[in-house]
């Protein structure tokens, strides 16, 4: 009898701890979140494992089709980058080497290369088509090397010299990788970073407006969803990201949720976006 009693206590303390953790997460977010939307997202059943595996296998094809359809027009050039990550701002006479992991069609690197003559860039993407766009844009640019690569499986040192990179940018890239493979992608990045080099990370934050817009049947796992076009998106809680980077051998600095309003003029919608941003320095 005493045994079952103790067991029940354990259960209730587990539940209390989970509730406290959830409240802590909410308190860190940049604005109030609709409790009903959270309850709906949490209670929805994820897709069955065989479907999960199928979408995992098809991930590369979906991104390639995405770039085929949207070519170079979908994402705007990212001029916010040097504002949010002053490390990447040009400093006269200071040579920098950067790897953009998940470069898409080059919306980050093209503006940076134009602004900074002392910058050398390596750029890779999962989608061969996206890489071809970057190669075409960089054809006359000797400071840019683009190559196709799967961050989870491929050896980056086949294209990037070991311990040569000051900064790796991971902007809205890790979210497209299954949560169980994210740590492997971070481990894979380590060998190309210089000692003291850093990953600059920005991605979708937990309870971002887009997370609540998925229709039933699109939830792959908690906080991980499939869009209509088959591409996938994970929404990061700060504590999840800290653990992920620390376990991969990085020291996390400046981890913050960033709130942005995007306005859909056509529909007159204000969408409260939440992003998570951090800097992760390679531990010696």
pLDDT for the residue numbered 64:
65
pTM for the predicted model, two decimal places? 0.77
| Edge-to-edge strands, sheet with 269-282 | 144-148, 119-125, 96-101, 165-171, 193-204, 269-282, 250-264
57, two tokens = 């296998």
pLDDT for the residue numbered 97:
98
Which residue is listed with tokens 């990212």? 78
Give per-residue pLDDT as tens, 217-235.
778 888 998 887 778 899 9
Write the DSSP string, 49-102: HHHHHHHHHHHHHHHHHHHHHHTTTSSPP-TTHHHH-GGGS--TT--EEEEEES
Q: What is the dihedral of CA 176, 179, 184, 187, to 10 degrees?
A: 80
pLDDT at 247 exceeding the cut of 90 = yes
270, two tokens = 């204000």
For residue 88, CA distances in Å to 166, 183, 201 come to 10, 24, 13
| Edge-to-edge strands, sheet with 232-234 | 219-221, 224-226, 232-234
Q: How far apart are CA 171 and CA 115, in angstroms?
A: 19
The overall average pLDDT reported for the chain is 83
pLDDT for the residue numbered 55:
65
Give per-residue pLDDT as tens, 248-262.
999 999 999 998 887
- For the chain, the C-alpha Rg in angstroms (whole number) is 20
Give per-residue pLDDT as tens, 166-218.
999 999 999 999 999 999 999 999 999 999 999 999 999 998 888 888 778 77
164 phi-psi bin (left φ>0, alpha ψ -120 to 50, beta other):
alpha
Give per-residue pLDDT as tens, 26-78.
777 777 777 777 777 776 777 677 676 776 676 666 566 666 666 555 455 46
User: What does the DSSP 8-state code read for residue 196?
Assistant: E
Q: How far apart are CA 259 and CA 257, in angstroms?
A: 7
pLDDT for the residue numbered 1:
42
pLDDT at 243 exceeding the cut of 80 = yes
pLDDT for the residue numbered 73:
53
Sign, CA dihedral 240-241-246-249, equals positive
pLDDT for the residue numbered 6:
38
């Amino acid at each position: 009898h005493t045994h079952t009693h103790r067991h029940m206590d354990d259960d209730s303390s587990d539940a209390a701890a989970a509730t406290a953790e959830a409240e802590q997460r909410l308190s860190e977010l940049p604005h109030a979140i609709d409790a009903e939307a959270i309850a709906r997202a949490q209670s929805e059943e994820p897709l069955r494992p065989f479907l999960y595996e199928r979408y995992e296998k098809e991930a590369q094809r979906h991104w390639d089709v995405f770039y085929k359809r949207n070519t170079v027009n979908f994402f705007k050039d990212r001029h916010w980058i040097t504002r949010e990550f002053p490390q990447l701002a040009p400093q006269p006479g200071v040579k920098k080497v950067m790897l953009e992991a998940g470069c898409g069609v080059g919306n980050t690197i093209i503006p940076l290369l134009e602004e900074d003559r002392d910058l050398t860039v390596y750029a890779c993407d999962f989608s061969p088509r996206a890489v071809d766009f970057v190669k075409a844009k960089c054809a006359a640019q000797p400071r840019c090397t683009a190559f196709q690569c799967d961050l989870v499986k491929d050896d980056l040192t086949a294209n990037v010299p070991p311990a040569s990179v000051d900064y790796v940018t991971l902007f809205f890239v890790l979210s497209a990788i299954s949560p169980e493979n994210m740590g492997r992608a971070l481990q894979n990045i380590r060998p190309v970073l210089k000692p003291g080099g850093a990953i600059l990370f920005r991605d979708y934050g937990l309870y971002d407006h887009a997370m609540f817009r998925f229709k039933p049947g699109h939830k792959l796992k908690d906080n991980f969803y499939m869009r209509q076009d088959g591409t996938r998106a994970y929404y990061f809680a700060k504590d999840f990201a800290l653990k992920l980077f620390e376990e991969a051998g990085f020291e996390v600095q400046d981890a913050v949720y960033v709130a942005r309003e995007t306005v859909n003029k056509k529909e007159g919608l204000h969408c409260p976006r939440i992003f998570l941003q951090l800097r992760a320095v390679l531990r010696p």
